[in-house]
Structure 1
Amino acid sequence: MPSRLRHLSVLLAAPLLLSACGTSLNRAPVEDRNPQPRAAAPAASAAEAHEVKPPPGAENAGKPGYYTVKLGDALIRIALDNGQSWRDVARWNGLENPNRIEVGQVLRVVPPGVDASAATARPIASAGKVESRPLDAKPPVASASAAPAPAKEPTKEPAKEPAKEAAAASDDDAPAWAWPVSQPVSAGFDEQRNKGLDFAGKAGDPVFAVADGRVVYAGSGLRGYGNLVIIKHNNTYLTAYAHNRAMLVEQDQAVRKGQRIAEMGSTESDSVKLHFEVRKLGKPVDPAKLLPPR
């Protein structure tokens, strides 16, 4: 009799155990699923909030005279490819810090009030990454003994230059060019591989301005160019002088044709040379077609 009572007790208890186990297994999945929708909601809200804030100048995207910033861009590259001074581009766009631009930002690259359809440059593919060196940093300048004598520069020339640059932006008149160095060309122009002329030489050989103009950049912020001088001659033409050992001019300085502006070097180059470019509305053109016969 006791044995049968124990057997009956086991049989009665079994459904209760199964019921308890069933309740526990059915509850867990519900508890795991419920928090998931609540956790995803804040992320969606953040994404929606981010999408409603367009980058600066987005309303001008695609318009003539404007440029949309891409990944890897820097202001000096944008200005060079559009035939402008980076200082002017910064001023036209109200950039408090010219070293901070964002992807998708749309920048004005022609002067306000200018017919953009006539003055817009044709951008080209970047020749390399741009270093994040501050644009306002002063470049190394040679000692006064190595610089050209101040007496050779007319004191009133800087006052005349702005008036010259304020002429029609579509002005295509080429300056009276001169050669930047006395050495022969070592590598010719190639639109895809070499956007200018190369001249081999010795370290310290003089580099000359090929025409009157104003220095719009003197520094080392463009990777692949080393110590670089850029001169703006008018609203159409810029010239660039790369790989210098020393730069003898500063930004905003007026220069004359034939003035010594740098010393040939090998900065960011495997040999001593001058890499020389002519840009027409930002587009590289073959300098050999513009320079006078030797």
Structure 2
Amino acid sequence: MPQQRPPARLLPPLAAAALGALALAGCIPGNRPDPAPAPALDPASPPPAPESAAPDIPPQPPVEVPSAAAPPPFKITAVVPNARESAAGTYKVIAGDTLRRISDRTGAGSEAIARANGLVPPFTIKAGQTLRIPAGRWHRVAAGETGIAIARAYGVEWSRIVAANGLEEPYILRTGQRLMLPSAAEVAAMSVEARAAAFQLDIGDIISGGEPALVAGARPVKPRPAAPGAAPLPPTSAVAAASRFDGRFAWPLTGPILTRFGPYGSGRRSDGINIAVAMDTPIRAAADGVVLYAGTDIAVYGGLILIRHSDKWTTAYGHAGELLVARGQAVKKGQVIARAGESGSAETPQLHFEIRQGRKPVDPVQYLPRRG
């Protein structure tokens, strides 16, 4: 689908030097497996049948945050590759040992050692116990590093590192943590296309790899109420999840559905739904949450906002013509967060809307109210 020039009010794409090549083909990213929709949040209620249009949204007093300035670049802290290979072996626990101390001594990740030995929280070990140490290639995380930056430093997709390390929500890395990477030989044998994939940013990457690593004992920053002219959260601070989430989503706007969730066309698939709207239609938050991302770094989506509702649930709003909130701000269900446009690859004014459980996109229609 040809890419259209965004409206003049949409903030320009961010510095290529910070993000690498992000050009993506098509209106919705393709060539990904079709994930099975997650069960409805309320198992007692059957999922509603797909509708051709979003329901009418009752009038609500707008709670708007005027756009002040362009969102800052999606900064990626420089990562110095420090990966080391370690061989498989065993380790005999001595008094005072912890998994982190054993990790420092053997070079293997503490989480990987726990998995290799069937250890579960609180990861109790005893002096004299023999542990299996897995082989691998390990990167030691430094303060402020993001998963995306680490993946790019080694030329591998962040999703591969997530899978290899069994990372889960809320995907906050810790200083000193060791991440398993593909071996140097495996990376050297990768095709140019495979290596280039490490620089193709997607929504799942931002959700799971966009937050900076925290030092031991530090916590993500609590969200701040959205206010006119408020500065976004610094890229060195991690965004905390919303304090509570009732598990219910609302339609972000009203309009006919152009593209449904799942496979469509010739080999393409949609990770959400696209809703046709008039230019400048208010886009509302589908639930209470905190802004995880607001910017234009994924070319296919143009103006994009991600809202984290809990450690497990995130919503995405793409093709916006104007962004009205910033990273780290708290928003309420029904609050106006953006205005619709035809940015990114959209050829007509529309909203691309996703609901994600962790990294995995699910069918939004199964989680939205039936038409009245």
Task: Determine which structure has the larger helix proportion and give its number.
Answer: 1
Scaled by the length of structure 2, the TM-score of the pair is 0.40
Scaled by the length of structure 1, the TM-score of the pair is 0.50
**If you compute each CA radius of gyration, which structure gives the higher value, 1 or 2?**
1
